Homo-oligomer: A and B are copies of this chain.
Amino acid sequence: LTLGDGLFETILARDGASLRLAAHLARLKAGAAVLGMSVPIPEAALATAMEETLSANAISDGVLRLTLTRGPARRGLLPPDRLRPTLLITAEAADGLLLSPVGAIIAVTTRRNEHSPLSRCKCINYLDNVLARIEAGKRGADEAILLNTAGNIAETAAANLFLVIEGRALTPPVADGALPGIMRAEVIGRLGAEERSLGRGDFSRASEAFITNSLAIRPLLMVDGVAIADGRPGEMTEKLRDGSHLIR
């Protein structure tokens, strides 16, 4: 934890059960492989522990957070020969979920590093995203869009981003620094969306836009003070939200 040497998953819970659990655990496993470690307990035991965390906290609809770190080690960067990974499970009721439409800024504070394999992992090195989100708040916006080091759109501070251009849903590829979001993959599948590099100039070409993460699909109505199309939630976005088994 003191080096940011770990991963996390944010998982929606409904009626006491985790949604899209298999996909979350597959991503956790893939991230662990990038870090050179493995998930220390079997999938079924992890699922049980998560359910128990929900019930112990009397939460039926809410959010689980799974945090996996490489575990204790002596000073220095090299992990010990024998790892003792740390696994944290926390749960929170869904009261704080944000589902409303979003106005965003394009962050100038920082950029996402598409040259790091960590841009493809949900790791706990989240400070660039925190800084971007703070910048959004200061500039009166709900969310921050992160560009990568080449100036292409990567994602937002806490979500993936989709633009609808010429009737087609487009989203930045993972190679551009987009986190491979669970909801992103689901939306790509459902809409037949295309992964394509996008720049800041593409917002003016979009007929609608939305952002996705495991907790919500939210219409993106404005970027840097300029409305996207007519500034109202788009048809594709609304249809998507209706069918996504999210807490509304």
Interfacial residues, chain A to chain B (CB-CB below 8 A): 1-6, 8, 10, 34-36, 63, 65, 67, 74-79, 88, 92, 96, 109-111, 113, 115-118, 123-131, 133-134, 137, 149, 157-158
- Copies of this protein in the assembly total 2
Given contacts A5-B126, A126-B5, contact A131 B117 (CB under 8 A): yes
Top 5 A-B pairs ranked by shortest CB distance?
A113-B113, A4-B4, A125-B125, A111-B115, A77-B133
Residue numbers in B under 8 Å from A131 (CB-CB): 34-36, 117-118
- CB < 8 Å: which of B74, B88, B124, B134 contacts A96? B74
- CB < 8 Å: which of B65, B67, B117, B134 contacts A36? B134
| A124 adjacent to B4 (CB under 8 Å) | yes
29 A–B pairs (Cβ distance < 8 Å), ordered by A: A1-B2, A1-B124, A3-B124, A3-B126, A3-B130, A4-B4, A4-B127, A5-B126, A5-B130, A36-B134, A65-B75, A74-B92, A74-B96, A77-B130, A77-B134, A77-B158, A78-B133, A78-B134, A78-B137, A79-B130, A110-B117, A110-B118, A113-B115, A115-B149, A116-B128, A118-B127, A118-B131, A125-B125, A125-B128
Given contacts A2-B67, A125-B127, contact A157 B77 (CB under 8 A): yes
Chain B residue with the shortest CB-CB distance to A92: B75
Given contacts A113-B115, A113-B149, A117-B109, contact A129 B77 (CB under 8 A): yes
Chain B residue with the shortest CB-CB distance to A111: B115
